[in-house]
Amino acid sequence: MNEIPHLYRWRVEGVDGMYLLALAIAPSIAILVFIYTKDKYDKEPLKFLLLLFGLGCLTVIPACILELVIQGFAGFNESLPSVLVEAFLGVALIEEGVKYFVLRLAAGKRCRHFNQMYDGIVYAVYVSLGFATVENILYVFQGGLTTGIMRALTAVPCHAITAVAMGYYLGIGRFRVDSRDRKKYMALSFIVPVILHGIYDFLVLSGNTILILIFIPFVIFMYIFAFKKIKRLAAHNHMVRDEETGRITDLS
């Protein structure tokens, strides 16, 4: 009888499969723990966060299908204009779109847990890193150790950073009283992540030396951008709003 190969017997570039799996998952776990610990008051239920993470994992399926359809229809090539369109419309718009859809569906107006602005960041990051974890496992098992290390510093944090942007504007928009302000922030919660993701992918896919050199300072900018947004909303997460009465309670 032929034995079914176990994960620890899989090897890529001489590295055991279990080590690669750990490498692929570790960046997401580290970021999720960081985001969760920043929520010092009225922490979100773990079951709900796991649900968001699981739904994020599932978004890989429609994203892959849509990307294949768009790429097959558009016939992208290696020219910079084509790469630019592919980065924004063929990747960023689709991936951020499916994540945004799940986020609004699971953490919409009827979500009783969504009572702080910082919650928007928590929810968005858990959805996004569900997607990023599955994607990263696929890439790391294909590319090996070097790919895993590089993506731990770039691609996975990129998904988290665009999620921070999404959750930041969503969190502010949810608690805006004025309808115009609310619509503006809700729009920004989708537009800003797509722009950040699109620029990131364009720089990576361009194959242009100058653009690739710009990539590193852009990633640094994204890190700084995310930490500032997290710090700003985390500083106010002691203020909890009751959705039914509109009353705000200070938990500090």
Task: Report yes or no: 126 and 52 within 8 Å, Cβ to Cβ.
Answer: yes
Half-sphere exposure of 100 (CA within 13 A, CB side): 21
Note whether residue 246 is domain-resident: no
Note whether residue 250 is domain-resident: no
Total structural domains in the chain? Answer: 1
Task: Find the mean pLDDT for residues 161-178.
Answer: 92
CA angle 201, 204, 208 (to 5 degrees): 125
Q: What is the pLDDT of residue 19?
A: 85
Predicted model pTM: 0.88
Note whether residue 158 is domain-resident: yes
pLDDT, tens digit, 9 for 90 and up, residues 57-101: 999 999 999 999 998 887 888 899 999 999 999 999 999 999 999
Note whether residue 74 is domain-resident: yes
Note whether residue 165 is domain-resident: yes
Q: Which residue has tokens 């896919």?
A: 205
Note whether residue 251 is domain-resident: no
Task: Find the mean pLDDT for residues 162-171.
Answer: 96
CA distances from 245 to 10, 38, 111, 236, 251 (A): 56, 26, 15, 20, 17
The rounded distance, in Å, linking the Cα atoms of 8 and 13 is 14
Phi-psi region at 51: left, alpha or beta (left = phi > 0; alpha = psi -120 to 50) = alpha
Q: What is the pLDDT of residue 110?
A: 76
Residue, of 243 and 198, whose pLDDT is higher: 198
Task: Find the mean pLDDT for residues 157-161.
Answer: 97
Q: Does residue 252 carry a pLDDT above 50?
A: no
Q: Which residue has tokens 């847990």?
A: 113
Structure tokens at 136: 């990263």
Domain that holds residue 85: 8-241
Of residues 234, 222, 28, 192, the one with CA closest to residue 100: 192
pLDDT band for position 242 (cuts 50, 70, 90): low
Note whether residue 1 is domain-resident: no
CA distances from 101 to 14, 55, 127, 169, 185 (A): 40, 11, 10, 15, 16
